């Protein structure tokens, strides 16, 4: 297997400086602080066996000086050691990696002519790409699973080996694994390459792995798909198998239940069934929002717009198409052009904007600015276009055009902390309205492909980190994952199925103001360069709407529901009153429609439930006589007979307060 972190590097506990006692021993420190002397070269599993043979059998790996390693790793220096059980959080990625190797071995046994390519672990799962004459089908997964189980029962030792580049090329060439040879050939000549062997199977991998196949957890192969080698459409189409693994059958069963629930909530299916949006080949990977979908879309946008106003942003609107020269000046041409659309107008090169930020710098530079004017806070619901490959587009989650709730703050360096603080306040305020209380924060630093000096990057990264620390926010550091122009804070929300979604971002940028010559007049009368803070909260409105549909299973809160009330007359004689009810609700600003079909009342109620409309007003003889409405709430049932004005006010209050409903 080739994981996404690579295949090279020596054992993570290789000695760099011997620290042994005169008798050749090293000191091992346990989590409780206890220290024991052990012979240099002792393996991690041997230390565990000294504690208890039964204890060692529960383990799959160890952590030595904060680095996760194989149980068979040798320790040659003093070390802190923590043992990892199958049920520990750090064990999951090891289980996924190891199970993918077991799957690849099973495939090779059943289909000897198959060629193995790459197979990384992904969130809660793994995949493996194979070159095989006839692509795999879902029906073959059970056969492969059965062979995997045999490999587990064989209790094959999993052994790490390190090879020179030439040794690795020779070995995989003899195995007729062309793709592995291609990968290895691209590595430096002096590179040390790690691989893992179990039985007759060997593959490239950094590891670590379980000590033997018997210690694998519960697993399930999920689906098959096609994928081009290295994601390039010019290359051969491979057959991909997706799978997952968990510590035990109970955890696997829970996850598979969530997958089934996710299928029921698939926003693509629900959006089509409910008539909210559609996709067409005439505009690939571009959503067509129907009237009801547009109502949801606008409700999200209007809410964020109100939040922006409360946080003192002024809304602007910039062109969709701007000159290629400007995109060169901003750095996007050199760093992002493969994702951009270009056109020629009057013999000049132009590009459709993939981002809104350069347009905002032009607006800032249109007039003189003083330190008294700062911070200047611009927001825009700007439509952007990005060329995504057809293989990665996915419903509303990944489209080629979308509106982003973009905003930029131009401020002094002294204002950075206060402005980022305010953005963090807004992020948490907005997410809480949608019921997203569990927010995971990540700080990403300079990527390999970037602009600006190291001094500027150091200053930017330090500024964002200090804000997070000052607020006491726990965060994960993501080295090398920043935007090309600056470091960033990303916000990940968890939906009702416990899935994580990255939506909001705060990015600190000293480079773009410099590139566009932005200045303000300081208290000293001299020109100074402002800092530019990029900010989005929901990010792509399309993607956020898709997330909400699946989060709520399309049972949208009243304030988001495209139809808030369905008026249902029981018989023809009740239609005049129904017309009056519809008219009054519309006058109040309630989104309402009526079912005028000649269906039975049970069918009408069932249809409204299927459409997931929050309220149903059922009108019969008594309601006409008493000038009331019989109210049903989606998912709750009968709420009894009520005055139209009272229930109308209740709906308006739910809309004004944007009350979230439990999902």
How far apart CA 629 and CA 99 sit, in angstroms, is 59
Supply the pLDDT for residue 22. 52
Supply the pLDDT for residue 6. 45
Helix (H, G, I), strand (E, B), or coil: what is residue 300? helix
Tens digits of residue pLDDT in 149-184: 999 999 999 999 999 999 999 999 999 999 999 999
How far apart CA 245 and CA 126 sit, in angstroms, is 8
How far apart CA 449 and CA 446 sit, in angstroms, is 8
> Catalytic residue among 206, 220, 357, 446, which?
357
Nearest to 304 by CA among 95, 539, 597, 29: 539
Q: For residue 367, what is the DSSP state?
A: S
Helix (H, G, I), strand (E, B), or coil: what is residue 264? helix
Give me 476's structure tokens.
């994960």
Give me 269's structure tokens.
């299916």
Supply the pLDDT for residue 623. 94
Helix (H, G, I), strand (E, B), or coil: what is residue 638? strand
Supply the pLDDT for residue 5. 38
> Catalytic residue among 108, 385, 400, 534, which?
534
Question: For this structure, is 357 an active site residue?
Answer: yes
Give me 618's structure tokens.
């059922």
Q: Does the pLDDT at position 12 exceed 50?
A: no
How far apart CA 556 and CA 661 sit, in angstroms, is 8
How far apart CA 51 and CA 35 sit, in angstroms, is 13
Nearest to 248 by CA among 87, 426, 57: 87
Q: Does the pLDDT at position 2 exceed 50?
A: no
> Catalytic residue among 97, 108, 488, 591, which?
488
Give me 496's structure tokens.
């009702």
pLDDT band for 455, please (50, 70, 90 cuts): confident
Tens digits of residue pLDDT in 81-131: 999 999 998 999 999 999 999 999 999 999 999 999 998 888 889 999 999
CA dist 446 → 462, 489, 658 (Å):
12, 12, 39
pLDDT band for 491, please (50, 70, 90 cuts): very high
Supply the pLDDT for residue 661. 54
Domains of the chain, earliest start first: 1-264 (3.30.980.10), 291-552 (3.30.930.10), 565-657 (3.40.50.800)
> Within the chain, how many helices (H) and strands (E) appear?
20, 35
> Catalytic residue among 404, 415, 426, 507, which?
404
Supply the pLDDT for residue 453. 80
CA dist 405 → 81, 357, 359 (Å):
47, 12, 14
Question: For this structure, is 534 an active site residue?
Answer: yes
Q: What is the mean pLDDT of residues 424-450?
A: 92
Question: For this structure, is 58 an active site residue?
Answer: no
Q: Which of 19-28, 120-129, 451-460 has the lowest mean pLDDT?
A: 19-28
How far apart CA 373 and CA 521 sit, in angstroms, is 10
Supply the pLDDT for residue 130. 95
Count, residues in the chain: 663
How far apart CA 55 and CA 52 sit, in angstroms, is 5
CA dist 207 → 7, 69, 72, 229, 476 (Å):
8, 8, 12, 23, 22
Nearest to 227 by CA among 339, 136, 124, 353: 136
How far apart CA 420 and CA 31 sit, in angstroms, is 38
Nearest to 100 by CA among 120, 80, 79: 120
Q: Which parts of 450-574 fold into alpha helices (H)?
A: 454-471, 511-515, 541-552
How far apart CA 172 and CA 329 sit, in angstroms, is 47
Residue 317 gets the label, from left (phi > 0), alpha (psi -120 to 50) or beta, of: beta
> Catalytic residue among 70, 405, 406, 660, which?
406
Q: What is the mean pLDDT of residues 597-609?
A: 93
- Greatest pairwise CA separation for the chain in angstroms: 102
How far apart CA 272 and CA 613 sit, in angstroms, is 16
Q: Does the pLDDT at position 326 exceed 80?
A: yes
- In our burial notation (b when 16+ CB lie closer than 10 A, e otherwise), range 578-604 reads beebbeebeeeebbbbbbeeeeeeeeb
Average pLDDT across the chain, whole number: 91
Predicted TM-score (pTM) of the model is 0.81
Asked if residues 423 and 506 have their Cβ atoms less than 8 Å apart, the reply is yes
Burial class for 50, CB neighbours closer than 10 Å (0-12, 13-18, 19+): middle
Asked if residues 300 and 562 have their Cβ atoms less than 8 Å apart, the reply is no
Kind plus residue range of the DSSP H or E element containing 421: helix 416-433
CA dist 265 → 433, 548, 549, 564 (Å):
21, 10, 7, 20
Question: For this structure, is 543 an active site residue?
Answer: no
How far apart CA 20 and CA 26 sit, in angstroms, is 5
Question: For this structure, is 347 an active site residue?
Answer: no
Residue with tokens 């659309």, as numbered in its chain = 341
For the chain, the first-to-last Cα distance in angstroms comes to 39
| Percentage of residues in the chain having pLDDT higher than 70 | 96
Name the E strands within 451-530: 476-478, 488-494, 500-509, 520-521, 527-528
| Percentage of residues in the chain having pLDDT higher than 90 | 79
Residue 658 gets the label, from left (phi > 0), alpha (psi -120 to 50) or beta, of: left
Tens digits of residue pLDDT in 32-81: 999 999 999 999 999 999 999 999 999 999 999 989 999 999 999 999 99
Residue with tokens 């680095």, as numbered in its chain = 67
Question: For this structure, is 386 an active site residue?
Answer: yes
Burial class for 252, CB neighbours closer than 10 Å (0-12, 13-18, 19+): middle
């Amino acid at each position: 297997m080739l994981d996404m972190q690579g295949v090279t590097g020596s054992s993570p506990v290789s000695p760099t400086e011997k620290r042994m006692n005169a008798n050749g021993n090293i000191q091992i420190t346990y989590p409780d602080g206890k220290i024991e002397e052990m012979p240099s070269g002792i393996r991690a599993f041997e230390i565990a066996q000294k504690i208890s043979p039964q204890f060692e059998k529960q383990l799959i790996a160890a952590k030595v000086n904060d680095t996760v390693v194989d149980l068979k790793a040798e320790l040659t220096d003093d070390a802190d050691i923590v043992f990892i059980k199958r049920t520990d959080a750090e064990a999951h990625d090891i289980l996924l990696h190891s199970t993918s190797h077991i799957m690849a071995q099973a495939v090779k046994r059943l289909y000897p002519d198959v060629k193995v390519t790459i197979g990384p672990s992904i969130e809660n799962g793994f995949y493996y790409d194979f070159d095989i004459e006839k692509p795999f089908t879902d029906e073959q997964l059970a056969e492969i699973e059965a062979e995997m189980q045999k490999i587990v029962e064989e209790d094959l030792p999993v052994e790490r080996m390190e090879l020179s580049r030439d040794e690795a090329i020779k070995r995989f060439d003899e195995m007729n694994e062309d793709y592995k040879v291609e990968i290895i050939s691209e590595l430096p000549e002096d590179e040390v390459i790690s691989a893992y062997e179990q039985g007759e199977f060997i593959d490239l991998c950094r590891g670590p792995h379980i000590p033997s196949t018997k210690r694998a957890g519960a697993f399930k192969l999920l689906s098959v798909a096609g994928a081009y080698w290295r994601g390039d459409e010019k290359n051969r189409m491979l057959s991909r198998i997706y799978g997952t693994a968990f510590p035990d059958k109970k955890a696997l069963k829970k996850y598979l239940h969530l997958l089934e629930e996710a299928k029921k909530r698939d926003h693509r299916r629900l959006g089509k069934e409910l008539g909210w949006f559609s996709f067409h080949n005439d505009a690939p990977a571009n959503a067509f929002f129907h009237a009801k979908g547009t109502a949801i879309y606008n409700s999200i946008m209007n809410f964020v717009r109100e939040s922006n106003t409360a946080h003192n942003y002024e809304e602007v609107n910039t062109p969709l198409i701007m000159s290629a020269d400007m995109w060169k000046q901003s750095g996007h041409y050199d760093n992002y052009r493969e994702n951009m659309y270009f056109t020629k107008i009057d013999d000049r090169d132009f590009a459709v904007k993939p981002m809104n930020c350069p347009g905002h710098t032009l607006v800032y530079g249109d007039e003189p600015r003083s330190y008294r004017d700062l911070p200047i806070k611009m927001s825009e619901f700007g439509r952007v276009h990005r060329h995504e490959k057809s293989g990665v587009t996915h419903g509303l989650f990944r489209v080629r055009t979308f509106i982003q709730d973009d905003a930029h703050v131009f401020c002094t360096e002294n204002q950075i902390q206060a402005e980022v603080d305010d953005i963090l306040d807004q992020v948490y305020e907005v997410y809480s309205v949608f019921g997203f209380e569990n927010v995971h924060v990540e700080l990403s630093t300079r990527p390999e492909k970037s602009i600006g000096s190291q001094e500027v990057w150091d200053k930017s990264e330090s500024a964002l980190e200090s804000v997070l620390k000052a607020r006491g926010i726990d965060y994960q550091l993501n080295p090398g994952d920043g935007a090309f122009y600056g470091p960033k804070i990303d916000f990940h929300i968890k939906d009702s199925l416990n899935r994580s979604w990255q939506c909001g971002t705060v990015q600190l940028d000293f480079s773009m103001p410099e590139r566009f010559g932005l200045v303000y007049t300081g208290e000293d009368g001299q020109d100074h360069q402002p800092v530019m803070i990029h900010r989005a909260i929901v990010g792509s409105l399309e993607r956020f709407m898709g997330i909400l549909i699946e989060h709520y299973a399309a049972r949208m809160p009243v304030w988001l529901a495209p139809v808030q009330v369905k008026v249902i007359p029981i018989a023809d004689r009740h239609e005049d009153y129904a017309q009056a009810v519809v008219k009054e609700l519309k006058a109040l600003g309630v989104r309402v429609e009526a079912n005028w079909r000649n269906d039975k009342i049970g069918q009408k109620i069932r249809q409204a439930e299927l459409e997931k409309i929050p309220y149903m007003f059922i009108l019969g003889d008594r309601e006409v006589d008493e000038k009331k409405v019989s109210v049903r709430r989606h998912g709750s049932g009968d709420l009894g007979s009520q005055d139209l004005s009272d229930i109308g006010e209740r709906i308006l209050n739910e809309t004004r307060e944007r009350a979230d409903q439990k999902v």
